[in-house]
C-alpha cells in the first residue's frame, strides 16, 4: 500500500510486515519453502515491505557484475513467485541511504559485547577465520533496516531470531536515552519452514552445495533430482516415508492425493527410488509452472522489474526519511526550529 507522506509521522498501522533476503545466490527450494513462500503469504496481513539486502550481501559477494545480476534476478524471482508490488513494497536495500545513516546512530548506542555474541561473527572467530567490521556490525545494519520502516512483524528463519533481539535491544536503549523514537518489532518464526533437505539429505544450503534452484534450467534440475542420495535397501522392503528426504521433497510439491498415494507405496514396498525421483521431477515442474511462465514474461521486459524497484524505493524512502528525522531530532543532530518529526 503506498505511504501517504502526510501520514508518515503519525502512528504506524497495527501490522507492518518487513523482511529482507540476501542476494548471495539464486533462490533454492530451501529459501522458497523456508522463507519466501511465507513472506508472500504475509503480504495480505497488512502493510508489507520486502527488500533485497545487497548491502548485507557485500560482506560475501565481492564481484560487482555478479552482485548486480543477483539483485536483478532476486527481484524478478520474487515477483514471479507471487510477491505483488501493488500490495507489498519491494525495493533494494541500498536504494534507501537513510538506512545507513540510521545504522550509525544505532552504532553509537551498541555495546561491543552485544555484537561479539552474535553467531555469524562468533562462528568465524571460533574457526580462526578473519572477520571484517562489516560482518561484525551486520546486526546493526539489520536493526536499522527494521526500525527505519516502523516494522511491527519481521518474518524470519530460526537463524535470524538473535538479530531481531539485537534490534529490540538497540531500539530500547535509544528510546530510553532519547524518548519514544522507534517502534519495537517482534520476530515471526516462519511456519513450516523447518528444514528443507538438500540432495544429500542434509539441510539444503548454498554452503553445502546440495541445492536445487527454483528456476534452474529444467534439464539441469532433472539431473540433480535423479542424483538425490538414497539408501540401498531392496526394492521390495516396506519403508517409512517419514524422515526420508526424497519423500519430504516430493511432499512439499505434490498435490495431497499424490502425496498420500506415494506414502502408501513407501509403506507397502515394491517400488524403486528412481520412480519417486521421476514423480518429483513432475511434481516440481507442475508446482512452479505458473511462476516459471511469469518469470519468462518478466525476463522479456527487464524495464518492468526495474520500474517496480524504483517505485518501491521511493515509497520506502519516504517512510525511512520520516523515521530518520525523528531519530536525528531526538539525539540533537538537527538545528534551527523545533524538532520536526515526533512520533505520534
CB of 341 to ligand ADP, least distance (A): 32
CB of 37 to ligand ADP, least distance (A): 10
Q: Binding residue for ligand ADP (CB under 6 A) from 125, 195, 224, 304?
A: 195
Burial 330-343 (b: 16+ CB within 10 A, else e): bbeeeeeeeeebeb
- Which residue is catalytic, options 125, 195, 206, 224? 206
Helix 273-287 / helix 218-226 crossing angle, nearest 10 deg: 150
Q: Which three cell numbers mark 253?
A: 510439491
| Interaction mask 30-69, ligand ADP, x per CB under 6 A | xx--xx----------------------------------
Q: What 8-state DSSP symbol labels residue 190?
A: P
CB of 88 to ligand TRP, least distance (A): 14
Burial 33-42 (b: 16+ CB within 10 A, else e): bbbbbbbbeb
Residue nearest to ligand ADP (CB): 34
Helix 302-331 / helix 64-80 crossing angle, nearest 10 deg: 100
- Whether residue 195 lies in the annotated active site: no
Q: Which residue is it, cell 519403508?
A: 239
- Whether residue 186 lies in the annotated active site: no
Q: In 3-state terms, what secondary structure has residue 47?
A: strand
Scan residues 22-61 and list those touching ligand TRP (CB under 6 A). Answer: 22, 53, 56
Q: Is 243 left (phi over 0), alpha (psi -120 to 50) or beta?
A: left
CB of 261 to ligand ADP, least distance (A): 25
Scan residues 4-23 and list those touching ligand ADP (CB under 6 A). Answer: 21-22
Query: What does 276 interact with, of ligand ADP, ligand TRP, none (CB < 5 to 8 A by kind)?
Result: none
Query: What does 146 interact with, of ligand ADP, ligand TRP, none (CB < 5 to 8 A by kind)?
Result: ligand TRP
| Residue number, 169 or 200, with CB nearest to ligand ADP | 200
- Whether residue 206 lies in the annotated active site: yes
Contacts of 257 (CB under 8 A, 6+ apart): none
- Which residue is catalytic, options 195, 203, 224, 278? 203
Residues with a catalytic annotation lie at 124, 203, 206
Amino acid at each position: 500500500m503506498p505511504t501517504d507522506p502526510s501520514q508518515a509521522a503519525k502512528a504506524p498501522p497495527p501490522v507492518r510486515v518487513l523482511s529482507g533476503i540476501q542476494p548471495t545466490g539464486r533462490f533454492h527450494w530451501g529459501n522458497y519453502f523456508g522463507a519466501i513462500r511465507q513472506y508472500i503469504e504475509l503480504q495480505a496481513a497488512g502493510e508489507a515491505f520486502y527488500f533485497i539486502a545487497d548491502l548485507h550481501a557485500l560482506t560475501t559477494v565481492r564481484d560487482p557484475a555478479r552482485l548486480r545480476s543477483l539483485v536483478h534476478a532476486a527481484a524478478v524471482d520474487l515477483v514471479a513467485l507471487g510477491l505483488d508490488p501493488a500490495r507489498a513494497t519491494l525495493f533494494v536495500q541500498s536504494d534507501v541511504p537513510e538506512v545507513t545513516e540510521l545504522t550509525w546512530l544505532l552504532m553509537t548506542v551498541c555495546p561491543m559485547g552485544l555484537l561479539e555474541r552474535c553467531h555469524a561473527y562468533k562462528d568465524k572467530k571460533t574457526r580462526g577465520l578473519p572477520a571484517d567490521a562489516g560482518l561484525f556490525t551486520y546486526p546493526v545494519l539489520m536493526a536499522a533496516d527494521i526500525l527505519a520502516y516502523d516494522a511491527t512483524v519481521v518474518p524470519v528463519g530460526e537463524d535470524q531470531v538473535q538479530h531481531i533481539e539485537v534490534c529490540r535491544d538497540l531500539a530500547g536503549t535509544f528510546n530510553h536515552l532519547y524518548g519514544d523514537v522507534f517502534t519495537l518489532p517482534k520476530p515471526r518464526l516462519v511456519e513450516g519452514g523447518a528444514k528443507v533437505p538438500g540432495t544429500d539429505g542434509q539441510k539444503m544450503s548454498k554452503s553445502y552445495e546440495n541445492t536445487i534452484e527454483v528456476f534452474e534450467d529444467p534439464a539441469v534440475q532433472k539431473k540433480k533430482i535423479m542424483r538425490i542420495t538414497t539408501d540401498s535397501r531392496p526394492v521390495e522392503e516396506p519403508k517409512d516415508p517419514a524422515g526420508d528426504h526424497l519423500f519430504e521433497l516430493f511432499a512439499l510439491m505434490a498435490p495431497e492425493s499424490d502425496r498420500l498415494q506415494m506414502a502408501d507405496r513407501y509403506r507397502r514396498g515394491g517400488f524403486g527410488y528412481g520412480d519417486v525421483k521421476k514423480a518429483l521431477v513432475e511434481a516440481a515442474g507442475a508446482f512452479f509452472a505458473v511462476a516459471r511462465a511469469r518469470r519468462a514474461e518478466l525476463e522479456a521486459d527487464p524495464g518492468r522489474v526495474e520500474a517496480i524497484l524504483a517505485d518501491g524505493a521511493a515509497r520506502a524512502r519516504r517512510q525511512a526519511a520520516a523515521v530518520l528525522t525523528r531519530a536525528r531530532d531526538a539525539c540533537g543532530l538537527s538545528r534551527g526550529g523545533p524538532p520536526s518529526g515526533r512520533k505520534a
